[in-house]
Amino acid sequence: MNAMPPTQRTDEPAGSGTGEQPAGAQAANQASGAQISPQTRLDRILALVPRALSSHVHIIFLGALGVYLVLLPLFGVNVSARAELIGGNYTNVTSDLGACIAAGLTVHLVRRDRHRARQLEELFHRLHRRHDELEAAIGRAAAAAERAERAARGEG
């Protein structure tokens, strides 16, 4: 799993001395670890290819093509040379099925990575909120302790 870079806290300006990255460095780190969204029409069309290859319809079609071009000739059914030329031989069909399986796995892994990245980002936001709450509580407790100490000395 890819670890996400530390994020900029939203309640403080960039470079406020908290040890966190400025917003520009944060954006550069996120862009390098994230998938780049398609910009052109061709990029958008090509981004759909793995999903189309791994679709049930395409895998069923290749399975039927495999039965027609591979299994039927093994049982003595004559398949025309034209059908074999258009549909391919067993090597083409099995490699196409392998490509579909790989494309399906890729689509699954990308979805899982995006889901985990969203979960991790939500966790970071919750941790930042909790940290801010605890920091404020510590500040209030320290101020109360100082007031109590001054009162005990009689300075108050």
- Report how far apart the first and last C-alpha atoms of the chain are (Å, whole number): 56
- For residue range 19-39, what is the model confidence (pLDDT) as tens digits? 444 444 444 444 444 466 668
- CA 58 to CA 102: how far, in whole Å? 13
State the amino acid at position 75 in one-letter form. Answer: F
pTM: 0.47
pLDDT by residue (tens digit) across 48-89? Answer: 888 888 888 888 888 888 888 878 888 888 888 877 777 777
